[in-house]
Structure 1
Amino acid sequence: MPGEHAVDKDSPDRSAVRSLARLWPYVRPVRGRWAAAAAVAIVASCLSLVIPLVLKWMVDGPVAEGDPGGVWLGALYLLLLGVAEALLFGFRRWLVARPLAGVEARMRAELFRRLQRLPIAFHDRWASGQLLSRGTTDLMLVRMFLAFPLTFLLVNAVTILAGFVLLLSQDWTLGLVLLTPVVPLVVLCSLFETKYAVVARRAQDQVGDLTTVVEESVLGIRIVKGFGRHRSQALAFRELAERLRSTELVKARLLAGIWAFITVVPELAIGAALVLGTVQVADGDLSAGTLVAFLSTALALRWPVESLGFLLAMSQEAATATERYFEVMDEREETPGPASPASVPETPAPVADGVRFEGVSFRYPDAPADAPPVLDRIDLHIRPGETLALVGGTGSGKTTLTALVPRLHEATGGRILLDGEDITLMERERLRALVSVAFEEPTLFSASVGENVLMGATEGAAEPELRRALGVAQADRFVAALPEGAATQVGEQGLSLSGGQRQRLALARAVVGRPRFLVLDDPLSALDVHTEALVEAALREVLRDTTALVVAHRPSTVMLADRVALLSQGRIAAVGTHHELLRANAEYAWLMSGEGDGETYGEGNEER
């Protein structure tokens, strides 16, 4: 699980401060507003410390002298101080709300951009729910930290410091009594931070796991209902929800413990100071007004002290959220330019040479060291304008080989040339403009039919290109029958369409840009016999003008090709025409006969 990748999430060397410090580049543009908000909050908080001084004046003055006018004047001062404090705190909220929402939006936008640029190998490893939780829940926690705990850790520290200065100035002996809990509080807060950080990380990872289950159940609702698996899915969800609930209860117990300790210990100190102060007043060593002011100041400091527990808890949650965010942001994205120019020999100027695979090998990064490569020293030449069918049993590496051409995966050995040019020396944007792909599992986006198809076209493509592509894919009739034609919204994953309709739209997207090189991964597998024949007839016209590699499982698809390459156990076992291989190669004849039912002929690698 992706949450498990954070190798040092439970490390004792983990530092919440170092994690949160990485937010500075995002906070820097709004630092002025944040600093102003913090200053306003400090002023507002310190106003509450003026109230005890007013009370001291009232008790030792108007109250002691029996002056009702002075009492009413003191009450007016207290009211004005309370109103000023409330207005200042409201102003602080206004100062930070918009800029910090902007910080969250910027971080979310950068996360999305990074996800688009990360290699396919990254997305193969990470569950989508984990990525979704990082872009939603985690960033919300970061924004809440910037808006509240970050400010009030500073505000409360200043308030506590100013308050203790006032306490010591009023009576240093009583002040020392109130300072006695400081050492145990510091020790306990340190222990709490260490334990809470681990549990907070676990909870946030479990939220990601739960999000993954919900997303998979929604996207796979047809499978769930079709096989009557709603109970098992509900049990899986309940198990994860219970696990998250248990973790949240551990968090609650830790927070309750620290809150209780932070509340009780200062209260005991205040009680002791009250007793000692009362004795001093009785002995005439302390005025009643000073005792009232002292106790009022101590009570005013209760909130800044008691809030430390949940402020630290929110800070730890924000720190783990920040770690999870940067786990994605720290991943190396695909380089837009050449893969490694220094290590690749220079290639001649582009010539009409088609596609060449020269000693190409591939092994997945997370494969065991002793596992055989998925592809092993592939040598293959697709001539300019030629269509080559790639045939092989399940697990032979066909899909992996086609993914290497547009560099969805990087070959771990050898090289691939397009018209004599090494693809690792080409900018990815240019490479993917030259190579168009259609996958066996078609993916459509929550957009109109036309927008989905024109994704494969160059900028500025319009209605004529769209009509031509829909015609090639034999999708024009069913698209015209949709409520709004090509402007019809297909919905999430295009599930409002049939499998064959989605596959035809994916094929239209692949051919709409008239690519020089076309890679088709069994593009007709979901079509009925009659539609397949019509699509093949139209596709032949397109294939005349392009160099194509087509993964094929059925003889009808193979017949589109000029030649056929048989891939077996990660190696090219034979190349020839369909009829030549039928006569000369037993494995190919076995695959084309359908007797193997798609199974690998002999032992092979597990196809990824």
Structure 2
Amino acid sequence: MANSTQQSSVRVYLRLLKYVMPYWGLFAISILGFVIFASTQPMLGYILKYFVDGLSNPDANFFSGVPWLGEQPLLANIKLLQAVPLLIVLIALWQGIGSYLGNFFLARVSLGLVHDLRVALFGSLLALPNRYFDNNNSGHLISRITFNVTMVTGAATDAIKVVVREGMTVIFLFASLLWMNWKLTLVMLAILPVIGVMVGNASRKFRKQSKKIQVSMGDVTHVASETIQGYRVVRSFGGERYEEQRFLEASIDNTAKQLRMVRTGAIYTPSLQLVIYSAMAVVLFLVLLLRGDSSAGDLVAYITLAGLLPKPIRQLSEVSSTIQKGVAGAESIFEQLDEVPEVDHGTQERERVSGRLEVRNLSFQYPGSEKPVLNNISFVAEPGQMIALVGRSGSGKSTLASLIPRFYHHESGQILLDGVDVEDYRLRNLRRHIALVTQHVTLFNDSVTNNIAYGDLAGAPLEDVKRAAEAAFAAEFIEKMPQGYDTLVGENGVLLSGGQRQRLAIARALLKDAPLLILDEATSALDTESERHIQAALDEVMKGRTTLVIAHRLSTIEKADLILVMDQGAIVERGNHAELLSAGGSYARLHAQQFSDTLAADKSE
């Protein structure tokens, strides 16, 4: 479970930097590059000393003021006239090498880090329990993988680059200034505590505002995602205005929060600059007052180096906002990565099970809910039997079907598959024995073949795929498609009808050939003709296979070995079709109601 107490910026940032460790070699090269780059800043400033001194005497020896070097025969002839231009070119070349090494290799590190974080986030999504998806909307989860990771990129690259490059520049400049005139330089140091207080205050504001921006960005993604996925409903019910307004509000909220952060930065940067330049004014005054016996070149070099300080200091102070954005992004990323994945304490594995399903005194309620969804459910399905669950919506039928493959964990009662509690199976092994077809079909924007032979079934022979499609009565429409089994079905099968999507889902379940088949309203999206075809196919594939059918249409379960009638989470009736009709209870009333509805529909046609 994610830690409820807010982690400190430093801890989050240090944890983020752990992802840099696999790239430490490249990172070290980039740091070296930035050190080289930073070392050239005082060099370029200091060269002005020689330029100014050379204005009055260009033929003076460049090394004349340097002990020992000025006495060497080769160096004694190098004049300021030759040395200054040459040194400027060499320093620029040295700076270029440093800049390339720093920027290129840090980019390699940062892109690798972002890739690793994205993969880790996506991997954690695949391992998280169902309740996590129930409690978090898809827009915020997608925003975390895209937008939040981009924020982390800034903290991991731009921030490190500025901290190292500008930080080293400040260090080199201060070292040079101390060497040239330590008294004046100490006066400049007095301003650092003021800068520290300003940076601290701004950091807290940036972090708070950045978190709000990320939440509002998730809202924008969520509204857009919902509208795109449900565009048919939006258009058929005239929801364009409503969705436009919803998106407008989310976008305005996001823009306002972004603007608030920009305003904080816009006030903070000039304020800091004013403090720095005030210190500079004091330094210039003291230089003029205490110039002593320094040459004009010395003074120009000192003032130039002091003048180079505000820019890197300002950039170092601005990096706080980038780091706080990254820290806020990293916090939400680590929050997801720290979520406990789907629990799998199972140790049992079976190559194949016979399919005997027994449910004993099963009760269940969703986490955070007080009302039980299932109450003391018990039944046995022998291998090859067909068990049907019927009842009104909300009676707990689909919840029961979700507990068998352990999408949720039950704490009261048992679900036994071949005499072994489903909790004792290894999760992947348990789910390998179960084929599930639900009312809401999920298809991927891939070929028909890859949608049928999906996941563990990938790579199945085409002949087996075709056999499964024929058994599900899907072959008849697949073969009429432009590229047959290689045809792309569009996002979530948008290019197919509801009945065609359902038949592909049934073909997928048939190809899996699992001993336990769960059909959750699997034929609800089919027309009567398709349903008759599929019912015949299901009759065939149910042989030797335990089948649990959740059905709204009672006509589809008349052949069931056992029908369980559920109401408010409990089994209120059980028996076969004939027994339940003769009993004249809930099932008989449901059957009579559906029969009269069908008759009325037939008369109206």
The answer, yes or no, to whether TM exceeds 0.5 is yes
Following TM superposition, by how much is the alpha carbon of 1:294 offset from its aligned partner in structure 2, in angstroms? 1.4
- Residue 444 of structure 2 aligns to a residue whose secondary structure is coil
Deviation sequence 1:84-134 (CA, Å, 0-9, x none): 213310222222223432222222222222211111111111111211122
CA distance in 1 between partners of 2:198 and 2:488 (Å): 57
Following TM superposition, by how much is the alpha carbon of 1:353 offset from its aligned partner in structure 2, in angstroms? 6.9
TM-score, normalization by structure 1: 0.90
Q: Does the CA contact (< 8 Å) of 2:17 and 2:156 recur in 1?
A: no
Query: Structure 1 residues 63 and 374, CA, compared in 2 at 3 Å: closer, same or farther?
Result: same
Following TM superposition, by how much is the alpha carbon of 1:433 offset from its aligned partner in structure 2, in angstroms? 1.0
CA distance in 1 between partners of 2:161 and 2:81 (Å): 36
Matching residue of 1:32: 25
CA distance in 2 between partners of 1:501 and 1:35 (Å): 57
CA distance in 2 between partners of 1:314 and 1:353 (Å): 57
Following TM superposition, by how much is the alpha carbon of 1:183 offset from its aligned partner in structure 2, in angstroms? 1.0
Matching residue of 2:328: 320
Following TM superposition, by how much is the alpha carbon of 1:551 offset from its aligned partner in structure 2, in angstroms? 0.3
Cα-Cα RMSD: 2.5
Q: Which amino acid aligns with 2:24?
A: R
- Residue 564 of structure 2 aligns to a residue whose secondary structure is strand
Q: Does the CA contact (< 8 Å) of 1:255 and 1:309 recur in 2?
A: no
Q: Which amino acid aligns with 1:138?
A: N
Matching residue of 2:357: 355
1:65 maps to 2:64: no
Matching residue of 2:561: 562
Matching residue of 1:113: 123
Q: Which amino acid aligns with 1:37?
A: S
Deviation sequence 1:234-259 (CA, Å, 0-9, x none): 11011011111111011101111221
Matching residue of 2:498: 499
Matching residue of 1:305: 313
1:87 maps to 2:123: no
CA distance in 2 between partners of 1:498 and 1:320 (Å): 44
1:206-355 to 2 correspondences below 5 Å: 206-281=216-291, 284-338=292-346, 354-355=356-357
Query: Structure 1 residues 239 and 347, CA, compared in 2 at 3 Å: closer, same or farther?
Result: closer
* Structure 1 spans left out of the alignment, 5+ residues: 599-608
CA distance in 1 between partners of 2:116 and 2:96 (Å): 31
Following TM superposition, by how much is the alpha carbon of 1:148 offset from its aligned partner in structure 2, in angstroms? 2.4
1:152-551 to 2 correspondences below 5 Å: 152-281=162-291, 284-338=292-346, 354-367=356-369, 371-455=370-454, 458=457, 460-551=459-550
- Residue 409 of structure 1 aligns to a residue whose secondary structure is coil
Aligned residue pairs total 579
CA distance in 1 between partners of 2:382 and 2:182 (Å): 93
Q: Does the CA contact (< 8 Å) of 1:53 and 1:293 recur in 2?
A: yes
1:569-580 to 2 correspondences below 5 Å: 569-580=568-579
Q: Does the CA contact (< 8 Å) of 2:442 and 2:492 recur in 1?
A: yes
1:126 maps to 2:136: yes
Following TM superposition, by how much is the alpha carbon of 1:266 offset from its aligned partner in structure 2, in angstroms? 0.8
Following TM superposition, by how much is the alpha carbon of 1:337 offset from its aligned partner in structure 2, in angstroms? 4.8
1:592 maps to 2:591: yes
Matching residue of 1:55: 48
Following TM superposition, by how much is the alpha carbon of 1:349 offset from its aligned partner in structure 2, in angstroms? 13
CA distance in 1 between partners of 2:32 and 2:455 (Å): 53
Q: Does the CA contact (< 8 Å) of 1:540 and 1:560 recur in 2?
A: no
CA distance in 2 between partners of 1:23 and 1:185 (Å): 26
Query: Structure 1 residues 510 and 52, CA, compared in 2 at 3 Å: closer, same or farther?
Result: same
CA distance in 2 between partners of 1:590 and 1:7 (Å): 51
- Greater displacement, 222-231 / 16-25: 16-25
- Residue 271 of structure 2 aligns to a residue whose secondary structure is helix
Query: Structure 1 residues 91 and 267, CA, compared in 2 at 3 Å: closer, same or farther?
Result: same
Query: Structure 1 residues 523 and 179, CA, compared in 2 at 3 Å: closer, same or farther?
Result: same
- Residue 22 of structure 1 aligns to a residue whose secondary structure is helix
CA distance in 1 between partners of 2:29 and 2:508 (Å): 53
CA distance in 1 between partners of 2:243 and 2:411 (Å): 39
Q: Does the CA contact (< 8 Å) of 1:440 and 1:523 recur in 2?
A: yes
Following TM superposition, by how much is the alpha carbon of 1:596 offset from its aligned partner in structure 2, in angstroms? 12
Q: Which amino acid aligns with 2:11?
A: R
Deviation sequence 1:173-230 (CA, Å, 0-9, x none): 4223322321111011111111111111111121112111111111111111111111
TM-score, normalization by structure 2: 0.90
Query: Structure 1 residues 104 and 411, CA, compared in 2 at 3 Å: closer, same or farther?
Result: same
- Greater displacement, 318-327 / 555-564: 555-564
Q: Does the CA contact (< 8 Å) of 2:354 and 2:515 recur in 1?
A: no
* Structure 2 spans left out of the alignment, 5+ residues: 61-78, 598-605
Deviation sequence 1:472-529 (CA, Å, 0-9, x none): 2211111111111111011111111111111111111111122100001010001111
Query: Structure 1 residues 248 and 405, CA, compared in 2 at 3 Å: closer, same or farther?
Result: same
Following TM superposition, by how much is the alpha carbon of 1:83 offset from its aligned partner in structure 2, in angstroms? 3.1
CA distance in 2 between partners of 1:124 and 1:597 (Å): 38
- Greater displacement, 292-301 / 67-76: 67-76
Matching residue of 2:8: 15
Q: Does the CA contact (< 8 Å) of 1:536 and 1:560 recur in 2?
A: no
Matching residue of 2:74: none
Following TM superposition, by how much is the alpha carbon of 1:459 offset from its aligned partner in structure 2, in angstroms? 5.7
Matching residue of 1:605: none
Matching residue of 2:107: 97
Matching residue of 1:145: 155
Following TM superposition, by how much is the alpha carbon of 1:386 offset from its aligned partner in structure 2, in angstroms? 0.5
Q: Which amino acid aligns with 1:393?
A: R
Q: Does the CA contact (< 8 Å) of 1:553 and 1:592 recur in 2?
A: no
CA distance in 1 between partners of 2:551 and 2:116 (Å): 44
Following TM superposition, by how much is the alpha carbon of 1:348 offset from its aligned partner in structure 2, in angstroms? 13
CA distance in 2 between partners of 1:252 and 1:112 (Å): 31
Q: Which amino acid aligns with 2:212?
A: R
CA distance in 2 between partners of 1:91 and 1:300 (Å): 23
Percent identity over the alignment is 32
Q: Which amino acid aligns with 1:483?
A: P
Following TM superposition, by how much is the alpha carbon of 1:157 offset from its aligned partner in structure 2, in angstroms? 2.6
CA distance in 1 between partners of 2:486 and 2:468 (Å): 15
Deviation sequence 1:389-431 (CA, Å, 0-9, x none): 1001111111111011111111131110011111111111111
CA distance in 2 between partners of 1:290 and 1:505 (Å): 83
- Greater displacement, 436-445 / 301-310: 301-310
Matching residue of 1:603: none
Q: Which amino acid aligns with 1:56?
A: K
Q: Which amino acid aligns with 2:174?
A: F
Q: Does the CA contact (< 8 Å) of 2:34 and 2:164 recur in 1?
A: no
- Residue 545 of structure 1 aligns to a residue whose secondary structure is coil
Q: Does the CA contact (< 8 Å) of 1:203 and 1:248 recur in 2?
A: yes
Query: Structure 1 residues 348 and 241, CA, compared in 2 at 3 Å: closer, same or farther?
Result: closer
CA distance in 2 between partners of 1:521 and 1:42 (Å): 64
Q: Does the CA contact (< 8 Å) of 2:129 and 2:342 recur in 1?
A: yes
Q: Does the CA contact (< 8 Å) of 1:393 and 1:591 recur in 2?
A: no
Following TM superposition, by how much is the alpha carbon of 1:465 offset from its aligned partner in structure 2, in angstroms? 1.9
CA distance in 2 between partners of 1:594 and 1:181 (Å): 85
Deviation sequence 1:421-472 (CA, Å, 0-9, x none): 1111111111111111001110101111111111276465212221222122
CA distance in 2 between partners of 1:27 and 1:457 (Å): 34
- Residue 19 of structure 2 aligns to a residue whose secondary structure is helix
- Greater displacement, 71-80 / 417-426: 71-80
Following TM superposition, by how much is the alpha carbon of 1:347 offset from its aligned partner in structure 2, in angstroms? 13
Following TM superposition, by how much is the alpha carbon of 1:74 offset from its aligned partner in structure 2, in angstroms? 1.6
Q: Which amino acid aligns with 1:306?
A: R
CA distance in 1 between partners of 2:38 and 2:232 (Å): 57
